[in-house]
Amino acid sequence: MEGIPLKRIEKVADMAQAARRLASEGKSIGFVPTMGFLHEGHLALAAEARKENDVVIMSIFVNPAQFGPGEDFEGYPRDLERDAELAEKAGVDLLFHPSSEEMYPEDSDIRILPGRQAGVLCGASRPGHFDGVLKVLTKLFHLARPERAYFGQKDAQQLAIIETFVRDYNFPLEIRRVPTVREKDGLAKSSRNVRLTAQERRQAPSIYEALREGARVLRETGDAELALGTVGHSLGSIPGAETDYAEILEYPSLFPLSSESREAIIAAAVRFSGARLIDNILIPLKGKPGHVYQRSRRPSCPAR
């Protein structure tokens, strides 16, 4: 279908019908769920989907179910026409952009709970957030019927929870990890970066620098406590920024690190005046004989 003009769909029933038709034609579907205001990270997901599938479906839906009280649902950046143009250039065939009323026509008290993985990192301070993520993805997966769905590693906790959910509940699709897309100075691409002041934008790459230094210490010493202290010290030196958390955990379980762990995540969330930024690094641990990987006994770095 490459080269065919982008088709836009707003209605749930129309999306379901289109997916059924594609399935009946034997077309493989790659699915890229987003909340819009597209940047290079989203387009990298679309590019991967384009390589591996006959049809690429992208959704743009700012999901109210994953925003808690006081969070920025109304202020979340939106520009549908710009997004549609970018999606078409990236090779997306079908853009699904429903309204909140279309996705959630009735209140429902049925909940999908993500378990222990949601109790750390961003989930620790955002109760119910990942409930809302799994709620909307369940609906989107049923509607789009993809063989593969694409998620960026920047949202590593979300990715881990989705991988576990799809595995445990036998969803008939594969989850594809796509590496974090970064600016030239290392800052992870994010829709929220536009909210940084000029000074904050200059300071924000220090988050990735801190994570890289922590990863170096972990690889060289095997001492998670020392590595976490390194990250916390570096983040604490960013002027005007507050560290929501910094943590080292096993990945993708998000359990405490142990000597049996084979992959770790170093993750942090840092709050500036107008934006809360997250970033992480995944670190293979296999092949480090003699190193005893252990989770720090200190609490996550407190806000400054």
36 labelled binding-site residue: yes
Paired tokens of 238: 């960013």
DSSP 209-277: HHHHHHHHHHHHH--HHHHHHHHHHHHHTSTT-EEEEEEEEETTT-PPP-TT-SEEEEEEEEE-SS-EE
184 marked ligand binding residue: no
H or E element, residue 135: helix 129-144
Q: Which distant-in-sequence residues (6+ apart) come within 8 Å of 175 by Cβ?
A: 148, 149, 151, 159, 162, 163, 166
Pair 64, 102: CB distance under 8 Å: no
- Of 42, 97, 129, 142, which is the active-site residue? 42
Q: Is 40 annotated as a binding residue?
A: yes
| 288 annotated among ligand-binding-site residues | no
Please check if 155 is assigned to a binding site: yes
**Residue 42 annotated as binding?**
yes
Which residues lie closer than 8 Å to 241 by C-beta, 6 or more apart? Answer: 200, 203, 235, 270, 271, 272, 304
Relative orientation angle of helices 156-168 and 129-144, to the nearest 10 degrees: 60
Q: Is 97 one of the annotated binding-site residues?
A: no
Judge whether 152 is annotated as a binding position.
yes
* CA distance linking residue 60 with residue 46, whole number of Å: 13
**Cβ partners under 8 Å of residue 282, min gap 6:** 153, 156, 251, 263, 264, 265
DSSP string covering 39-53, please?
-HHHHHHHHHHHHH-
Count other Cβ atoms within 10 Å, centred on residue 111: 10
Active site residue 42: yes
Is 190 annotated in some ligand binding site?
A: yes
Q: Is 38 annotated as a binding residue?
A: yes
How many of the other CB atoms lie within 10 Å of CB of 18? 21
35 is in an annotated binding site: yes
Kindly list the strands in the beta sheet with 242-250, ordered across the sheet, starting from the edge strand earlier in the chain. 242-250, 263-271, 276-284
According to the annotation, is 41 in a ligand binding site? yes
What positions carry a catalytic annotation? 42
| Binding-site sequence positions for ATP | 35-42, 152-155, 181, 189-192
Known binding site for beta-alanine: residues? Answer: 66
Which residues sit in the known binding site for (R)-pantoate? 66, 158
Binding residue ranges: 35-42, 66, 152-155, 158, 181, 189-192
